[in-house]
Copies of this chain bind each other. A is one copy, B any other.
Amino acid sequence: KRSYTITLLPGDGIGPEVISVAKDVLVLAGSFEGITYEFREMLLGGAALDATGVPMPDETLSVSKQSDAVLLGAIGGYKWDKNEKHLKPETGLLQLRSGLQVFANLRPATVFPQLVDASTLKKEVAEGVDLMVVRELTGGIYFGKPRGFGTNENGQETGFNTEIYSAHEIDRIARLAFEIARKRRGKLCSVDKANVLEASMLWRKIVTELALEYPDVELTHMYVDNAAMQLVRYPKQFDTVLTNNIFGDILSDEASMITGSIGMLPSASIGASGPGLFEPIHGSAPDIAGQDKANPFATVLSAAMLLKYGLGEERAAERIEKAVLDTLNRGFRTADIYSAGTKLVGCKQVGEEILKSV
């Protein structure tokens, strides 16, 4: 019997609702595979701000670090939007990512055949899209120093940030991307702005050197502006996409919208050691919070990624993935993915249907 400690971070908005469903699914899928869990629920984001005055309490980080994996719902909301930087829910999330040293953010963008019509792209363009964005998550302009506010030589107020990458930071994320590409369709596209930025020039140099160790992976390079176009033009050209923190933020969101399955997409953030952080890519949707309208599929699939990438429990992960597909095939939909001829249900009932299929 294998037992794991899981930190749950419900967060804000619809976070608690989707985490509750995912927890039940984790437990049931685990029970069939001889897995038990000890769950610890901690505060993050706006919920933490309201209760403790900071968006990521020390205890949240220390408990997370001591656990085998962390499952996060969503953070943020209008209520805290005007807060100063150190009191923003987002700052808490960034502190958690940094504290856990989860430098690799894996964001699959997959079109579910049952939902292909939800894409705004033509069916023949969207169907079959199956790509993985590997985004650097603990470096670049998100964390680079110096940053802040100042005054320039003309006495004008300035705001500034530093995009900086070291060879080591690039090497470790690129290695992971090559490994992932190898297990997928063997194609890696590294996205940068090496025609303008020095940080991107180093990025491209390190990635190119590393390619010698992965002769079985086909490496290409693309400028970020072109990548933003190519995702719209012909998304099926991509298998694995490697990019930095800010470009990954933008491109992974674009890619997920292209699938039309945005309420369905999970993510995994992992480091060299220590627990991974797993979360849906969608936000906290404060407008529908507490109304049993949230789509829990993405969080449930994040729980599957937790089992697969976080705990190495592939069989339990597959159980969940199959249960999700089965639930879709049986026609159950939340409002965001509803279409004529399917069954519109709430967050809880989707959870119950997934449990039936596990």
Give me the interface of A with B, judged by CB distance under 8 Å: 76, 85, 88, 90, 94, 120-122, 125, 141-142, 144, 147-149, 152, 154, 156-168, 193, 195-203, 224-226, 228-234, 246-247, 249-254, 256-258, 262
- Alpha-carbon separation in the docked complex, A203 to B149 (Å): 11
Tell me if B254 and A254 are in contact (CB < 8 A). yes
Chain B contacts of A201 at CB under 8 A? 85, 159
Tell me the interface secondary structure of chain A in the complex: helix
Tell me if A144 and B160 are in contact (CB < 8 A). yes
Across the interface, A157 reaches (CB within 8 A) one of B161, B167, B226, namely B167
Across the interface, A120 reaches (CB within 8 A) one of B142, B225, B232, namely B232
- Alpha-carbon separation in the docked complex, A125 to B147 (Å): 40
Chain B contacts of A228 at CB under 8 A? 228, 250-251, 253-254, 257
- Alpha-carbon separation in the docked complex, A262 to B201 (Å): 27
Nearest first, the 4 A-B pairs at minimum CB distance are A159-B202, A160-B164, A229-B257, A228-B254
Tell me if A198 and B166 are in contact (CB < 8 A). no
Chain B contacts of A232 at CB under 8 A? 120-121, 232, 254, 257-258
Q: How far is the CB of A84 from chain B (nearest CB, A)?
A: 9
- Alpha-carbon separation in the docked complex, A167 to B226 (Å): 30
Q: How far is the CB of A263 from chain B (nearest CB, A)?
A: 12
Across the interface, A202 reaches (CB within 8 A) one of B125, B157, B229, B246, namely B157
A selection of 14 A-B contacts at a CB cut-off of 8 Å is A76-B195, A94-B196, A120-B234, A121-B121, A122-B122, A141-B141, A142-B196, A147-B197, A159-B199, A160-B163, A193-B246, A228-B253, A228-B254, A229-B253
Tell me if A198 and B122 are in contact (CB < 8 A). no
Given contacts A163-B160, A167-B156, contact A90 B195 (CB under 8 A): yes
Tell me if A147 and B249 are in contact (CB < 8 A). no
Q: How far is the CB of A30 from chain B (nearest CB, A)?
A: 33
- Alpha-carbon separation in the docked complex, A258 to B125 (Å): 13
Chain B contacts of A200 at CB under 8 A? 159
Tell me if B233 and A199 are in contact (CB < 8 A). no
Tell me if B166 and A157 are in contact (CB < 8 A). yes
Chain B contacts of A85 at CB under 8 A? 198, 201
Chain B contacts of A144 at CB under 8 A? 160
Across the interface, A90 reaches (CB within 8 A) one of B161, B196, B234, namely B196
Query: In the complex, what residue of chain B is closest to A84 when comparing beta carbons?
Result: B201
Query: In the complex, what residue of chain B is closest to A125 when comparing beta carbons?
Result: B120
Tell me if B250 and A160 are in contact (CB < 8 A). no
